[in-house]
Homo-oligomer: A and B are copies of this chain.
């Protein structure tokens, strides 16, 4: 893992309460966990090792041999990335509260990407080896996992298409659209806007553009009256325009309440 700032959260904000039991976790209402019963939750809790708190910029995971844990992001933002031979960084995906990462350690035995905190984060660390056994005992959990992986795959398909075919401003718009949708499901969008910790270089590394061009593309979105980012906050000026301009296909959720 990383240097600095260890386990116990400094703040006493409600979501920051250390070592909340899975059964009582506020995330239980969202995403893949929604369909599980109490019994399954107690077992997931048994898998839980501990919660970890990390500061902005902390490298949560680095590529290399796995340590036998996987994680859920309890609060804050992070991103998965890999480094290309020439040293360039590609951000594969942004991680929002409730997202799971590292499931592959149970199957492939390696971290093949890095995970970095974009904001202060709290993680839940879970023991990977017993995952198989748990899935055997709780088929609903397994199906929830598969569901999550399939949704991820659909999103990855969209990202691939955008990087393959879209110009700069559209790439940026698509990214904004995807994040906004996911944040909406998490109930973090208010007044057509939300907290938004991405810097120019995060946009750049996620969209395959240079920081310079990200700047120009964002200026274009602002000039077109589509979206605006200032003071760490994103405002969607025209949702319809953004949807059309980005070419994003909204995800119809099958088993999800619209928001919290």
Question: Which chain A residues have a beta carbon within 8 Å of chain B's beta carbons?
Answer: 80, 82, 84-86, 88, 90, 92, 103-104, 107-110, 112-113, 132, 135-136, 139, 142-143, 145-147, 149-154, 156-157, 159-161, 163-166, 206-208, 244, 247, 249, 252, 254
Contacts and interface: CB of A to CB of B under 8 A. Distances in A.
Copies of this chain in the oligomer: 2
B150 A92 contact: no
5 contacts: A84-B247, A90-B161, A135-B139, A142-B142, A142-B146
B154 A156 contact: no
A34 B80 CA distance: 30
A160 B90 contact: yes
Interface centre among A207, A244, A247 (most CB of B within 10 A): A247
Contacts of A135: 139, 142-143, 146
A44 B117 CA distance: 42
Given A85-B247, A160-B159, A163-B160, A150 B108 contact: yes
A149 B146 CA distance: 8
Contacts of A82: 157, 161
Contacts of A164: 90, 163, 206-208
Contact of A161 (B92, B142, B147, B161): B92
A92 B162 CA distance: 11
A107 B146 contact: yes
Contacts of A165: 84, 86, 88, 90, 208
Contacts of A86: 165, 247
B156 A112 contact: no
Nearest to A139: B136
Contacts of A208: 163-165
A44 to B, nearest CB: 16
Nearest to A81: B161
Interface centre among A80, A161, A244 (most CB of B within 10 A): A161
A208 B132 CA distance: 39
Given A146-B149, A160-B92, A208-B165, A108 B139 contact: no
Nearest to A90: B161
Contacts of A150: 103-104, 107-108, 149
